[in-house]
Each structure stands twice: as structure tokens, then as C-alpha cells.
Amino acid sequence: MESFISSVITLALVMDGFGNIPLFITALKKVAPERRKIVLVRELSIAMLIMVLFLFCGKWFLHAFGIHSYSLSIAGGIILFLISIDLVFGKGGDEGSKNDITGEPFIVPLAIPLVAGPAALSLVLIIAAQHSNKLITLGAVVCASIVNSIILMSSFPLSKLLGPRGLAAIERLSGMILILMSVDMILGGIAEFVK
């Protein structure tokens, strides 16, 4: 049960719902207000389906490319660490390219890479490699997706309520927690390699 809760929390933090609120608002500004929820549900469903696909194909992917679980753990920890540094100290220079969206977004950039990005997908692969029970892991992916969906479905009211400073504070707090989790993943991978 503890590993399930840990997987849900880590995956929800990696999906970065609060950090994605400004990007989602920007992407949906040109979409008619009555279509926004439909577009959000569609994009979040696509992102969850992609993560579920990675969950069930993860072991095959690892075996096909000869990747060991400790390599994935170390690589995923490094990716998480870089993302968390970005969350703590502010977004990098590629933010503008994500914001240049015309019309109604479809799959890119909302589903991929903002929700089901490289860090989330590699974390799903790590979770799949670490746990033999696929139902528990599937539950973790679904629960984390639901948490992320609730945050992003509330993006317009939340951005007004919290304001830019409130969103930045939550994003930095998430980043600090992710730094600790990424270091733990790297050390776990190194320990597994040493064994």
C-alpha cells in the first residue's frame, strides 16, 4: 500500500498539474469557452491512455532494448532531478515554443509532452519494472491521472484564486519534493547495480 501511495504521489508531481496551469490556459485561450472542458477531457484521456500503454509495454520495451531496471531508475532520477531544478528555479527558455499554439490543440502539446512527457513516461516504466502486480500499478497511473485532471480541469478558477505568485509557490514546493524523490531513485538504481 505504501508503494502504491508513493507511486501515485510521485507520478502526480511529475505530471506537474500546477506547473502546467499557465501553459494550459495559454493553449486554451483561443478555444471557445464552451469547448474548453471537452478539449481538456480529450487531451487528459489521451495522456492517460499513453501512460497505460507504456505501463503494459514497459517490460517488453526494456527487454527489446536490453535496458536494465537500474539503468532506467538512474536515468529517470536524472530526468526528474533536471525537471525539479526547473520547477524550483523557474522554467527554461523553451517555454515560449510550448505557448505558440494556434487553434484547438490536439495531442501536442497538451497530452504530449505537458502531461505524458518524458519524465512521466520513464517513471511509468520504472514503476512497471519495480512492481509485479500490474493492477496496482495501473491503479497508481489512473489515480495520478485523476489528481492531475482535477487540477487542470480547475485551471481557470485556480489561476484566478492563487494568482501568479501562489502558482509559483506551489510549483517550487513540488520541485523540492521531486528533488528528494529523484535523488532517492538515483541512489536506488546505484544500489541495485552494485548488488
Domain boundaries along the sequence of the chain? 2-194
- Give the pLDDT confidence score for residue 82 in this predicted structure: 82
**24 close to 153: Cβ distance less than 8 angstroms:** no
For residue 105, give the amino acid letter. P
**pLDDT tens-digit profile of 72-116?**
778 877 877 887 787 788 754 444 444 444 568 888 888 987 898
- Give the pLDDT confidence score for residue 142 in this predicted structure: 96
DSSP string, 106-119: BSBTIIIIIIS-HH
Q: Which grid cell sits at 81? A: 532531478
pLDDT classification of 134: cutoffs 50, 70, 90: confident
